[in-house]
């Protein structure tokens, strides 16, 4: 009884190791049985009929070699496709890596466009009663700009460990709106030095 159990265990291990070959054999068997069943039900072709058809075929060594080569080629293509699909399933495509300079330049333009939009929004409020609201919104916009701009020059240890696009995030939807509003005009040559001068000029 123990020997039977060991043989069964080895059989299971072999199936797990060669599950691709087992799967291909199972699929091929299903296709063969399906063809035979279809021929028998539709035309009454039984196994003797198929045997007679095979016997009537003149098989030359060259045709046999071509057939074997075709079967091997089909098996190789199926295995390659199977491994490729399995690799793609376990390794989803990653976002393309952007250069540090590109990410920083885009981030600089974004934070400048955003503070320019805040100033434009304040220009619409002409009512003198809304002065305190204007002042508060302006202070918040400038403080947000200074907070984001400092990350270009003052990074924490945690930020140094993060991906570059997480350290300098850009809201793509908001960026498109700002560009559509024309806030990117004249910012093509904006550099980190310009941001540095905006941030620290006049600081004690």
Task: Give pLDDT tens digits for 175-204.
Answer: 999 999 888 888 888 888 888 888 877 454
Q: What is the mean pLDDT of residues 78-93?
A: 72
> How far apart are the C-alpha atoms of 128 and 66, rounded to whole Å?
91
For residue 171, pLDDT over 80 is answered with yes
**Residues written for the chain:** 204
Kindly tell me if the per-residue pLDDT of 100 is higher than 80.
yes
Instruction: Calculate mean pLDDT across residues 1-21.
Output: 71
128 phi and psi angles, rounded to 5 deg: -65, -25
Which ranges in the chain belong to alpha helices (H)?
2-17, 19-43, 47-56, 61-90, 100-124, 131-150, 157-160, 164-167, 172-180, 192-200
pTM summary value: 0.50
Judge whether 144 and 115 are in contact, CB under 8 Å.
Answer: yes
Statement: residue 124 has pLDDT above 70: no
Q: Write out the two tokens for 2.
A: 């123990």
Per-residue model confidence (pLDDT) at position 204: 43
101-116: average pLDDT = 91
* 85 against 72, higher pLDDT: 72
Q: What pLDDT sits at residue 1?
A: 60
- For residue 111, name the pLDDT band (cuts at 50, 70, 90): very high
pLDDT of 63 > 80? The answer is: no
What confidence tens digit (pLDDT) does each residue in 36-57 have? 888 888 777 777 777 777 677 6
Interhelix angle 131-150/192-200, nearest 10 degrees: 130
Q: Tokens standing for 78?
A: 């199926």
């Amino acid at each position: 009884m123990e020997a039977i159990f060991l043989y069964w265990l080895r059989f299971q291990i072999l199936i797990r190791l060669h599950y691709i070959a087992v799967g291909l054999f199972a699929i091929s068997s299903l296709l063969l049985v399906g063809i035979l069943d279809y021929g028998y039900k539709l035309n009454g072709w039984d196994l003797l009929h198929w045997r007679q058809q095979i016997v009537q075929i003149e098989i030359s060594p060259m045709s046999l070699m071509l057939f074997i080569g075709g079967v091997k080629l089909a098996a190789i293509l199926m295995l390659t496709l199977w491994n490729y699909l399995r690799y793609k399933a376990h390794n989803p495509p990653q976002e393309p890596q952007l250069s540090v300079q590109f990410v920083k330049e885009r981030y600089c333009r974004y934070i400048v466009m955003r503070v320019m939009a805040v100033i434009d929004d304040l220009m619409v409020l002409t009512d003198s009663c809304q002065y305190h609201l204007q002042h508060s919104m302006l202070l918040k916009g400038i403080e947000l700009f200074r907070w984001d701009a400092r990350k270009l020059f003052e990074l924490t240890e945690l930020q140094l460990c993060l991906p570059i696009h997480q350290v300098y995030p850009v809201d793509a939807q908001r960026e498109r709106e700002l560009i559509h509003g024309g806030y990117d005009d004249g910012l093509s040559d904006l550099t980190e030095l310009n941001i540095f001068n905006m941030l620290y000029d006049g600081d004690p």
